[in-house]
């Protein structure tokens, strides 16, 4: 009888005992959708991710705590908790956290090959909610336990992490959870819900969660030049990174000079050419510090400065054409031929001539919205209604029964005179004579908003990641999704002739197939 070598025997032993787990993972499949483990219209967030806790010596929370509240019987005690996505159970114990309840961990494989683990803590078993068996496959929506009776009140602790799915996490960490293996659940779920849509094409992950401090530049071949933290990069039309350059000092903007060649604007006011092969070229100083992305006024570029001034750089981006003092940070801007409109972060409305001469300054109740009107006039949607502002500073109310109700207000005006006004809750459509054509409520929109018209479609985007397409002729909803954003995020969008909608919000640039996103409206 032949003897089996010891190493071969060990390899056979390992392979035999690893088969059940490997095959179980394969049988559990790839996640095709994702959601929260509880109904977020019933439960509300009471402790966010990465928040330091005074009850735990200032350690950072590694998940999100969701609580049903006093309006729900027994504060939600015993209500079912469901699997966020298809996957494989890698940990399941009714005493996983001792007196703080049971824990279930599920491993999920996603379409891009990545693996993540969802953890559900502070649970208990009931007659209708049993913990699943370890290594068993589970489907999205399957019950994995029930809200347990734990301190300080019944709630679910929901985690997402990218490693270690075989033991419960501590719930709190001395280190920043992002630097370890944890991820923000709201961000993870929201982004994957968007990436699961049929219209999704590609994404580019950025380093800075505040997003690009300056809008990406769209080049002739529809590739993008983008600024990300202290890096400048170029991404192909289909989302591939072509090159990146690490910058030696802080940059605030990308802009074009009159020769249509891209430039980096540094915080110290120096300009430097960016070559399309990923090299840096000629540099010069403007002798003024800068802290914002530019607003284009004809051939000039308007920058805000750290000492609250506005400077206009000429077409060559080398000389300061004019300066205006006492201008707080600008939240919104609009150039309307003979007049510049600015809304500052403290809700001041400034109007200037194209050469930088002040026309008027007013204090607004809400953030308001601006659009280019007709015959060189500016349109402004404020708390007081819709106004037209002439280059000599005269405000005339156009429509009194709409008003900017919050910072999500947005305006769009077509060359044919049609007007679309979003007050933060309701979108109104008017013909050229300002007769109301239709109005439709758009619920759950948050953050700063922008509204554009593309043929028979309106596109509404926000810095909270809302991407909403509405049929301009009827007000019907064509498509809607949302990626992760926040109040501090920058946002930008561009619809190319290639039919790809590119959206930058927070720390990603997203590519969507416009026709698929529109669905039946595309026809």
Q: Where are the beta strands (DSSP E) in 216-297?
A: 217-218, 224-228, 231-235, 241-246, 251-256, 262-266, 270-274, 280-285, 295-297
DSSP state of 5: P
CB neighbour class for 152 (10 Å; exposed up to 12, middle 13-18, buried from 19) = exposed
Closest CA to 440 of 455, 454, 422: 422
pLDDT at 25: 52
- Please state whether beta strands 200-205 and 508-513 pair in parallel, antiparallel, or not at all (unpaired): antiparallel
Determine how many CB atoms are found less than 10 A away from the CB of residue 450.
Answer: 19
Contact between 501 and 223 under an 8 Å Cβ cutoff? The reply is no
State how far the Cα of 372 lies from the Cα of 419, in Å rounded to an integer. 11
What φ, ψ does residue 262 adopt, rounded to 5°? -70, 150
| Residue 460 backbone zone (phi > 0: left; psi -120 to 50: alpha; other: beta) | beta
Note the pLDDT tens digit of each residue in 43-58. 999 999 989 887 777 8
Tell me the C-alpha to C-alpha distance, in Å, between residue 395 and each of 3, 216, 250, 341, 390: 97, 34, 40, 13, 7
pTM of the full structure: 0.91
| Residue 88: predicted pLDDT | 98
**List of E strands, 455-507:** 457-462, 466-471, 477-482, 491-495, 500-505
Task: Please answer whether residues 369 and 404 qualify as being in contact, where contact means their C-beta atoms are separated by less than 8 angstroms.
Answer: yes
Q: Rounded to whole angstroms, how far apart are CA atoms 36 and 485?
A: 18
Please give the structure tokens belonging to residue 448: 């700063």
Beta-bridge mates of residue 283: 272
Q: Give the pair of three-digit tokens for residue 262.
A: 């891209």
**pLDDT on residue 4:** 45
Please name every residue paired with 244 in a beta bridge, in sequence order, or none if there are none: 233
What pLDDT sits at residue 272? Answer: 96
- What pLDDT, on a 0 to 100 scale, did the predictor assign at position 338? 87
286: closest CA among 311, 309, 310, 307? Answer: 311
Closest CA to 458 of 440, 443, 485: 440
pLDDT in the model for residue 510 = 97
Length of the chain, please? 523
The residues near 214 (Cβ < 8 Å, ≥ 6 apart) are 227, 252, 253, 254, 255, 265, 293, 294
Residue with tokens 């709201």: 186
What is the second-level CATH architecture of the domain 24-184?
Distorted Sandwich (2.70)
Query: Could you tell me if 123 and 148 are in contact, meaning their C-beta atoms sit under 8 angstroms apart?
Result: yes
Contact by Cβ (8 Å): 249, 232: no
Quote the CA–CA distance of 125 and 80 in Å, as a whole number: 9
pLDDT tens, per residue, the chain with 523 residues: 344 454 444 444 444 444 444 444 568 999 999 999 999 999 999 999 989 887 777 899 999 999 998 878 788 899 999 999 999 999 999 999 999 999 999 999 999 999 999 999 999 999 999 999 999 999 999 999 999 998 789 999 999 999 989 999 899 999 989 888 999 999 999 999 999 999 999 999 998 787 777 899 999 999 999 999 889 999 999 999 999 999 999 999 999 988 889 999 999 999 999 999 999 999 999 999 999 999 999 899 999 999 999 999 999 999 999 999 999 999 999 999 889 999 999 999 999 999 999 999 999 988 899 999 878 899 999 988 999 999 999 999 999 989 998 899 999 999 899 999 999 999 999 999 999 999 999 999 999 999 999 989 999 999 999 999 999 999 999 999 999 999 888 899 999 999 999 999 999 999 999 999 999 998 7
- Straight-line distance from the first to the last Cα atom of the chain, in angstroms, rounded to the nearest whole number: 74
Q: H or E stretch including 23?
A: helix 6-28
Q: Round the CA-based radius of gyration of the chain to a whole number and report it.
A: 27
Query: How far apart, in whole angstroms, are the C-alpha atoms of residue 293 and residue 214?
Result: 5
Residue corresponding to tokens 């930008």: 492
The Cβ of residue 250 has, within 10 Å, a number of other Cβ atoms equal to 13
Give the pLDDT score at 488. Answer: 85
At residue 465, φ and ψ (nearest 5 deg) are 90, 5
Q: Indicate the SS3 state at residue 197.
A: coil
Strand partners, 35: none
């Amino acid at each position: 009888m032949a003897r089996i070598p010891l190493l071969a025997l060990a390899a056979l032993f390992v392979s035999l005992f690893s088969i059940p787990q490997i095959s179980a993972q394969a049988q559990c499949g790839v996640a095709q959708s994702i959601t929260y483990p509880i109904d977020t219209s019933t439960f509300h967030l009471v402790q966010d991710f990465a928040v330091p806790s005074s009850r735990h010596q200032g350690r950072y929370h590694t998940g999100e705590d969701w609580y049903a509240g006093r309006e729900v019987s027994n504060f939600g005690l015993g209500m079912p908790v469901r699997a966020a996505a298809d996957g494989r159970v890698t940990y399941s114990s009714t005493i996983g956290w001792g007196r703080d309840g049971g824990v279930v961990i599920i491993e999920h494989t996603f379409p891009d090959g990545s693996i993540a683990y969802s953890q559900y803590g502070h649970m208990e078993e009931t007659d209708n909610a049993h913990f699943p068996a370890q290594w068993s496959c589970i489907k999205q929506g399957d019950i994995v336990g029930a809200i347990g009776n734990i301190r300080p009140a019944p709630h679910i602790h929901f985690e997402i992490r990218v490693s270690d799915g075989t033991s419960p996490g501590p719930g709190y960490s001395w280190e920043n959870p992002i630097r370890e293996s944890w991820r923000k659940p709201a961000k993870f779920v929201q982004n994957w819900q968007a990436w699961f849509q049929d219209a999704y094409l590609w994404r580019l992950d950025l380093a800075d969660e505040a997003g690009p401090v300056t809008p990406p530049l769209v080049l002739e071949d529809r590739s993008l030049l983008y600024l990300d933290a202290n890096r400048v990069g170029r991404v192909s039309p289909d989302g591939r990174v072509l090159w990146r350059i690490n910058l030696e000092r802080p940059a605030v903007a990308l802009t074009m000079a009159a020769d249509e060649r891209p430039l980096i604007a540094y915080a110290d006011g120096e300009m430097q050419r960016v070559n399309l092969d990923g090299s840096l070229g000629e540099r010069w100083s403007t002798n003024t510090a800068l802290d914002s992305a530019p607003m284009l006024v004809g051939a000039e570029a308007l920058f805000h400065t750290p000492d609250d001034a506005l400077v206009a750089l000429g077409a060559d981006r080398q000389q300061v054409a004019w300066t205006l003092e006492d201008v707080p940070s600008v939240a919104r801007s609009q150039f309307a031929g003979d007049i510049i409109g600015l809304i500052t972060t403290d809700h001041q409305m400034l109007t200037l001539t194209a050469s930088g001469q002040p026309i008027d300054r007013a204090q607004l109740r809400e953030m308001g919205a601006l659009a280019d009107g007709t015959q060189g006039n500016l349109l402004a949607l404020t708390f007081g209604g819709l106004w037209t502002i002439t280059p000599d500073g005269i405000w005339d109310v156009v429509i009194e029964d709409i008003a900017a109700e919050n910072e999500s207000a947005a305006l769009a005006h077509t060359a044919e005179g049609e007007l679309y006004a979003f007050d933060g809750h309701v979108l109104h459509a008017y013909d050229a004579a300002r007769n109301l054509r239709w109005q439709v409520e758009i619920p759950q929109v948050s953050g700063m908003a922008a509204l554009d018209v593309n043929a028979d479609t309106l596109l509404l985007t926000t810095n909270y990641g809302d991407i909403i397409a509405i049929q301009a002729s009827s007000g019907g909803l064509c498509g809607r999704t949302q990626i992760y954003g926040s109040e501090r995020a920058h946002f930008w969008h561009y619809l190319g002739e290639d039919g790809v909608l590119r959206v930058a919000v927070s720390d990603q640039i997203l590519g969507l197939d416009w026709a698929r996103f529109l669905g039946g409206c595309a026809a």
